[in-house]
Amino acid sequence: MIEMDTTIPGAAPEVVRAFKVLNKNGIHARPAALLVDIASQYSCEIELENNGNIASAKSILSVMTIEAIPGAMVTVRARGADAHHAMEALAQLFEQAFQENSIDGSEEDMEPSEE
């Protein structure tokens, strides 16, 4: 995972990170919905890119058009006042394989444990 802050002085903050799609089915409808739900909580502009295809992270149809298959490297670009917070939330989703089985066979779970 690579993170770059590409903010130009006087411009809105911009954060760019690349993530590997770790879940074994790629970004299909359910992971896309999770991604859109998280992205929609932030006011910043968020884009995803895979193989030259760019999508708004706030539109489920747009997200599904990037065809992010298992193992794909997806670049996420967040631009705006809350870009860093949005990126942290999205990073957690990618790192936890969208709450699905990962391509290495392990099952990821984002749900907090009950104590």
Q: CB-based contacts of 63: which residues, under 8 Å, 6+ apart? A: 27, 32, 35, 36, 48, 55, 56, 57
User: What is the tens place of the pLDDT at every residue in 34-89?
Assistant: 999 999 999 999 999 999 999 999 999 999 999 999 999 999 999 999 999 999 99
Q: Is 28 designated active site? A: yes
pLDDT of residue 5: 55
pLDDT > 50? residue 23? yes
Structural domains in the chain plus CATH codes? 14-99 (3.30.1340.10)
Higher per-residue confidence, 57 vs 99:
57
pLDDT at residue 110, rounded to an integer? 41
Question: What pLDDT score was predicted for residue 83?
Answer: 97
* Predicted confidence (pLDDT) per residue in 4-21, tens digit: 555 555 677 899 999 999
Q: Is the pLDDT of residue 97 over 60?
A: yes
Which of 20, 24, 28, 84 is catalytic? The answer is 28
Give kind and range of the element (H or E) at residue 115: none
CA-CA-CA-CA torsion sign (93, 99, 100, 101): positive
